[in-house]
Amino acid sequence: MELKKNISLKEFNTFGIDVKADIFIEISSLDEMLVFLANYKKDFYNLPLLILGGGSNILFTKNFEGIVLKINTKGIDIINEDNEYIFIKAYSGEVWESFVDYCVDKAWAGIENLALIPGNIGSCPVQNIGAYGVEVKDVIYELEAVNINSGELKVFQNKMCNFGYRNSIFKNELKNQYIIHSVVFKLNKKPVFNIKYDAIKDELKAMDVITPNIKAISKAIGAIRRRKLPDTHLLGNAGSFFKNPTVSSAFFEELKVKHPNIIGYKLSESEYKLAAAYLIEACGWKGIRVGECGVHDKQALVIVNYGNAKGKDIADLAWKIKDSVYKKFNVNIEPEVNVL
């Protein structure tokens, strides 16, 4: 466990924002984490603490005046299996994309639709990552997390995590109270594919796949994502900047009268989820560049850093987008990205 001072965070956030952290500590094992927590209050007088995984869902608008704890605990273990399921534990510092590739390679099904999502294992439950009809909550069996105050390691069964759309207990009641240490996934040896999205069906057709398998689905998802979403290694971004907002069915009907092309998905008799990308595109933002940042030309939900944007430039652009959507549609869009 090495302590570094006044470190640039540019390579630790996928937006590529060049801010500094007063103190940067990398944690590579549970023991290191427990030693750090036992001494945190004494050694650091309770300085603000930021738990950092892959840095793929964060926008830094200023230097971090505190301790950045980069979780880098690695490992993948099979902890149980039967004829149907495999229970596989991955530690927080594993890279999500590599974990998906590993499971796809073994033909363990359940996360192939989540291929190529940036980030690490430790953050996937916090915001319940999702794409193409699958959310990670569908395959999380349980997870272990360490209480920052007491150092106690606690097991959270799936139900205890209160998962919702891009949401969990770790973003609400337990915010900043726990560090995820490992996640156990229950994957299927006899797969049931989730290919109800037209985009996946069309891609499989274009690939001449008649009987889909896990590899083909993950390849199709990869192709769709590469077309629509910028590669964080080439163009700084954090995936969708905003969440898709929920509105009442009655309000959706009103919107539909004024904006017949609006895109909404029925959630229940009383609620619809709107495609925020449509709202942003309809306000004219798609492909617009403002200085060093802009709205991606292939997916209006994604804000990109062309190279030298400051976090504040990106946040200013995001708030302008939010304002214009509110003015045109009377709908509030909220960031998915954590703005610091």
DSSP secondary structure letter of residue 335: B
CA dist 81 and 103 (Å) reads 14
336 is catalytic: yes
How many whole angstroms from its chain centre is CA 258?
33
By beta-carbon proximity to ligand EPU, the closer residue of 22 and 281 is 281
CA dist 129 and 135 (Å) reads 6
Number of helices (H), then strands (E), belonging to the chain: the values are 7, 20
Q: Is residue 25 a contact partner of residue 1, using CB atoms and an 8 Å limit?
A: yes
Per CB under 6 A, the segment of 6-14, 73-81, 205-213, 294-302 that binds ligand EPU is: 294-302
CB of 303: closest distance to ligand EPU in angstroms? 11
Long-range contacts of 199-204 (CB under 8 A, 24+ apart): 199/132, 199/224, 200/113, 200/132, 200/224
**Active-site hit among 112, 142, 166, 203:** 166
Per CB under 6 A, the segment of 40-48, 101-109, 271-279, 307-315 that binds ligand EPU is: 271-279
By beta-carbon proximity to ligand EPU, the closer residue of 48 and 164 is 164
Residue 146 in contact with ligand EPU, rule: CB under 6 A? no
Binding mask 233-262 vs ligand EPU (x if CB under 6 A, - otherwise)? ------xx--xx------------------
Residue 277 in contact with ligand EPU, rule: CB under 6 A? yes
166 is catalytic: yes
Q: Which residues in 43-82 contact ligand EPU (CB under 6 A)? A: none
289 is catalytic: no
* Contact with ligand EPU (CB under 6 A) among 69, 116, 293, 300: 300
Cβ neighbour number for residue 157 with a 10 Å cutoff = 11
Q: Is residue 157 a contact partner of residue 145, using CB atoms and an 8 Å limit?
A: no
Q: Is residue 304 a contact partner of residue 290, using CB atoms and an 8 Å limit?
A: no
Residue 263 in contact with ligand EPU, rule: CB under 6 A? yes
| Residues contributing to the site for ligand EPU (CB under 6 A) | 131-132, 229, 239-240, 243-244, 263, 275, 277-278, 281, 286, 299-301, 336
**Active-site annotation, residues:** 166, 240, 336
